Amino acid sequence: MSRTRRAPQARRAPPPGRDPEPRALAAVVEALRHYVRDVRLHEPLWRHVTLRVGGPADVLVVPHSADELRAAARVLFGQGVPFVVLGQGSNVLIADGGVRGVVVKVGKGVDRVRWDGEAVTVEAGYGLPRLAQEAARRGLAGLEFAAGIPGSVGGGVVMNAGAHGHQLAEVLDAARVVTPEGEEVLTRDALGFAYRTSVLQQRPAVVVEATLRLRPADPREVRARLDAWLAQRNATQPIGPPSSGCIFRNPEGDHAGRLIDAAGLKGLSVGDAVVSEVHANYIVNRGAARAADVLALVEQVRARVRERFGRELELEVKLLGDFGAGAPGAPGVPRAPGSGPREPGRVPGGGPEASP
Ligand X SMILES: Cc1cc2nc3c(=O)[nH]c(=O)nc-3n(C[C@H](O)[C@H](O)[C@H](O)COP(=O)(O)OP(=O)(O)OC[C@H]3O[C@@H](n4cnc5c(N)ncnc54)[C@H](O)[C@@H]3O)c2cc1C
Distance in Å, CB of 71 to ligand X, minimum: 15
Q: Which of 98, 150, 251, 321 binds ligand X (CB under 6 A)?
A: 150
Distance CA 192, CA 186 (A): 10
Is residue 154 close enough to count as binding ligand X by CB under 6 A? yes
Q: Is 39 in the site for ligand X (CB under 6 A)?
A: no
Please tell me the count of residues contacting ligand X according to CB under 6 A.
35
Span near ligand X by CB under 6 A; candidates 25-33, 214-222, 242-250, 255-263: 242-250
Question: Where in 263-322 is the site for ligand X (CB under 6 A)?
Answer: 318
Closer CB to ligand X, residue 19 or residue 277?
277
In the complex with ligand X, the residue whose CB is nearer, 84 or 294, is 84
Contact window for ligand X (CB under 6 A) among 3-11, 25-33, 158-166, 284-292:
158-166
Choices 211-219, 223-231, 240-248, 269-277 (CB under 6 A): range interacting with ligand X: 240-248
Residue 41 contacts residue 29 (beta carbons within 8 Å): yes
Q: Are 259 and 251 in contact (CB under 8 A)?
A: yes
243 binds ligand X (CB under 6 A): yes
User: Which of 36, 76, 85, 93: binder of ligand X (CB under 6 A)?
Assistant: 85
Contact 319, 341 (CB under 8 A): yes
- Residue 159 found at the interface with ligand X (CB under 6 A): yes
- 91 is a contact residue toward ligand X (CB under 6 A): yes
**Smallest distance, ligand X to C-beta of residue 204, A:** 9
SS3 annotation, the chain: CCCCCCCHHHHHCCCCCCCCCCHHHHHHHHHHHCCCCCEEEEEEHHHHCCCCCCCEEEEEECCCCHHHHHHHHHHHHHCCCCEEEECCCCCEEECCCCEEEEEEECCCCCCCEEEECCEEEEECCCEHHHHHHHHHHCCEECCHHHHHCCCEHHHHHHHCCEECCEEHHHCEEEEEEEECCEEEEEECCCCCCECCECHHHCCCCEEEEEEEECEECCHHHHHHHHHHHHHHHHHHCCCCCCEEEECECCCCCCCHHHHHHHCCCCCCEECCEEECCCCCCEEEECCCCCHHHHHHHHHHHHHHHHHHHCCCCCECCEEECCCCCCCCCCCCCCCCCCCCCCCCCCCCCCCCCCCC
- Which of 44, 101, 257, 340 binds ligand X (CB under 6 A)? It is 340
**Segment interacting with ligand X, rule: CB under 6 A, options 23-31, 78-86, 258-266, 291-299:** 78-86
- Interactions with ligand X, residue window 183-202 (CB under 6 A): none
Considering only 56, 151, 257, 321, the residue that binds ligand X (CB under 6 A) is 151
Instruction: Give the nearest distance from C-beta 85 to ligand X in angstroms.
Output: 4
Tell me whether residue 91 or residue 133 sits nearer to ligand X (CB atom). Answer: 91
**245 touching ligand X, by CB under 6 A:** yes
Cβ 152 vs Cβ 128: under 8 Å: yes
Does the protein bind ligand X through residue 101 (CB under 6 A)? no
Q: How far is the CB of 340 from ligand X (least distance, A)?
A: 4
**Contact residue for ligand X among 41, 50, 232, 236 (CB under 6 A):** 50
CB of 149 or CB of 301, closer to ligand X: 149
Q: Which residues lie below 8 Å from residue 335, measured CB to CB, with a gap of 6+?
A: 82, 84, 320
Residues interacting with ligand X, by CB under 6 A?
A: 50, 84-92, 106, 124, 149-152, 154-156, 158-159, 161-163, 206-207, 243-245, 318, 337-338, 340, 353-354
